[in-house]
Amino acid sequence: MSLSITSSIAARIISKCGGHKATAELAGVSLPYVYRWTYPRERGGLNGRVPELARRALLGAAKAGRVNLTPLDFEEGWADHD
């Protein structure tokens, strides 16, 4: 995956959750950790990847009706599925 594609995955998730702070609250992680998702590896980031435990927490929040996310939101190429 290229940086531009992977960055868009994390950015899309953060946007759909209502921003960095809301994403951190929904995922049960710190705010700086959510910012790291979008940073390149050279800056200590995750290169646009949403970590598995955070992904599970966010999908759990979606199942509970707290956010509009599906597993497809975490996949490359599915940005316009809604």
What is the tens place of the pLDDT at every residue in 9-65? 999 999 999 999 999 999 999 999 999 999 999 999 999 999 999 999 999 999 999
What is the reported pLDDT for 81?
A: 45
What is the reported pLDDT for 78?
A: 54
Q: Can you tell me the distance from the alpha carbon of 82 to that of 49, in angstroms, rounded to the nearest whole number?
A: 21
What is the reported pLDDT for 5?
A: 43
Question: Domain-by-domain residue ranges, the chain?
Answer: 9-66
Q: Can you tell me the distance from the alpha carbon of 47 to that of 4, in angstroms, rounded to the nearest whole number?
A: 9
pTM (2 d.p.): 0.84
Q: Is residue 76 predicted with pLDDT exceeding 70?
A: yes
What is the reported pLDDT for 75?
A: 87
Residue 71 one-letter amino acid: P
